[in-house]
Structure 1
């Protein structure tokens, strides 16, 4: 019997050779100034090209979308050229890579935004949330996210267009598609979740109104890429991460899945809460999402090979994203295939720095 992790999957025009996804993971290694992707990042991603699909680290779509020091953007010519080095390296190694498009909204600091306040659905501060900034003397550090201002209604179309332009830039940079970051408390999440959105216009209040921004951005990405199968959406129904909480997540996110089915995007990528004592996502909820959305379903959240195989066999997942193990195991699929031991990642090198802790982990053959 074939291992379910190593069955191929058709995603639009792409043939994925296995069901293992490398999910987006912030590494803060872009070249400064300018937040430009570089040769080191190209080597890092190419080393991991045996994944069925790679989703890039969060890539901010405009100057006001940035929330963390050292993260790459995709809104300047230099950034597009830098990403082309990455996609060329991944494709040369036989891989497939989507760009994760990122607007952090309120999860930013005015020092990263030229002194401006972050923007959000509402003027609600993410209390206790700390973001990675350039501190005094250029030394990185963490600071409380700044108080945001609410976007005026007339500004929202401009944000949607920034997403669309970022998708066009991603395709110009050679990506195989784009993933909208609608999870983990970032801007899309700030419109979607009821306790992060106190708007009184057509983008707030009712579930239909809170879904509007997600739908507008998804449609814009489909138009910008020219192929709905090249668009994925990441959602996090139960994480409460970074202060975003919804009063009725099963209703909200099943409705979101149905809306994305209408638009026809290629996949939904569910980020499950994965910290100790986190709320478990019921299988009934996963089956409801499966019923609402006919495209591919990706799940992420501390999946072992055993749990991943069970999820695929049960049918509510089509692909499984395995995050931190990919940091220290560039050949993770090969290791999972034979049940080989995994290298442990070095927590101190996750964010910022150079090659150490990025490209120097040994493959199984070594």
Structure 2
């Protein structure tokens, strides 16, 4: 039985480096905070990924912390220890058994690491960032009592609405020490059996913080000009390529900003991301995920939204000459299929749909509803 014509382009196989993906319906990184009681993936994580591997063309893990220092919430998984590597190996084996592929999204939070998070305290080091200027964000409450399972499921417990917190980070003296962490994390991801890695360059985390002039106010060779601000992210990609090879390395970007107190003026945004995307593409990485504007990722902070709304596909996709152009955020299946058909994009990451339905691709193929009815 052929898939419905409205979504048929999503079921065309695609070559991603050495991998042949069975469809273009990909699973975006979704932070679930289920690695209880510590930061080591467990049986719940295993079941979660195995269920979704039955139909996804490609899975990107939830953000995987590259060090104990770079944490924000309890129970997010890491990849800095042998125990974590062994636990992830069980997950990658299960995903492969179901016929899918899985990339690790390598994540360091920089200035939005929560000072009160247990892992941040246990690390015994400051909250590091490119610069020491503070970050404004919603107040995240670290709950007491029984371990909590999922950030989204317990939102009312975690966020005190209308209360802001101001995180004051410490400027990192030598950013290459953070690049070393990315390289080691890639080595661990390879040992754990991941098919590749995605550099988390989005949502106001460390890579994004170096790119954005509002969070990076350095006056040395790591800040100031567009090329200097782009350097950290590009060198991070080079470190990942060193381990995995360029055809298994990718990056996720949110040029519109907004989330975690990010956003430059439009002209500076266009100049910065045009440069970074062009240079990243020259490295030969396998895909670039361009995340569209999302109102959900543009909270009101100090009475205003921060995002710089613009069409990220129209603005940047034409700059990508070698990598696959993937996208994320708010795509309906029908819109995604049309985007693939007309050549706007080559594959789409869905997020929320995979939370509700472990079998998104199968449902689309067999015209089952995307709700909780069956």
Question: TM tier, shorter chain?
Answer: 0.7 to 0.9
Q: 2:339 aligns with which of 311, 335, 339?
A: 311
**TM superposition shift of 1:32:** 1.6
Aligned to 1:121: 130
| C-alpha separation in 2, matches of 1:57 and 1:21 | 13
Could you tell me whether the CA contact under 8 Å between 1:287 and 1:316 is conserved in 2?
no
Aligned to 2:72: 67
Does residue 177 of the first structure (1) align with residue 196 of the second (2)?
Answer: yes
Structure 1 pair 281–319 and aligned structure 2 pair: CA distance change class (3 A): farther
Aligned to 1:347: none
Structure 2: which 5+ residue stretches go unaligned?
Answer: 149-156, 299-306
| C-alpha separation in 1, matches of 2:257 and 2:24 | 24
Aligned to 1:220: 239
Aligned to 1:356: none
| C-alpha separation in 2, matches of 1:191 and 1:288 | 19
| C-alpha separation in 1, matches of 2:137 and 2:17 | 41
Q: 2:52 aligns with which of 48, 52, 55?
A: 48
Aligned to 1:354: none
Structure 1 runs of 4+ off > 4 angstroms? 134-140, 276-280
Aligned to 1:282: 311
Does residue 234 of the first structure (1) align with residue 239 of the second (2)?
Answer: no
Q: 2:367 aligns with which of 335, 339, 342?
A: 339
Q: Helix, strand or coil: the match of 1:208?
A: helix
Aligned to 2:185: 166
| C-alpha separation in 1, matches of 2:33 and 2:133 | 27
Structure 1 pair 137–83 and aligned structure 2 pair: CA distance change class (3 A): closer
| C-alpha separation in 2, matches of 1:4 and 1:136 | 48
Q: 2:104 aligns with which of 99, 102, 109?
A: 99
**TM superposition shift of 1:116:** 3.9
| C-alpha separation in 2, matches of 1:68 and 1:282 | 32
| C-alpha separation in 1, matches of 2:48 and 2:9 | 27
Q: Answer 1 or 2: higher relative contact order, Cα 8 Å, separation at least 6.
A: 2
Structure 2 length as normaliser, TM-score? 0.86
Could you tell me whether the CA contact under 8 Å between 1:87 and 1:175 is conserved in 2?
yes
**Over the residues paired in the alignment, what is the CA RMSD in angstroms?**
2.2
Structure 1 length as normaliser, TM-score? 0.87
Structure 1 pair 338–83 and aligned structure 2 pair: CA distance change class (3 A): same
**TM superposition shift of 1:156:** 1.0
Does residue 146 of the first structure (1) align with residue 167 of the second (2)?
Answer: yes
Could you tell me whether the CA contact under 8 Å between 1:261 and 1:294 is conserved in 2?
yes
Aligned residues: 341
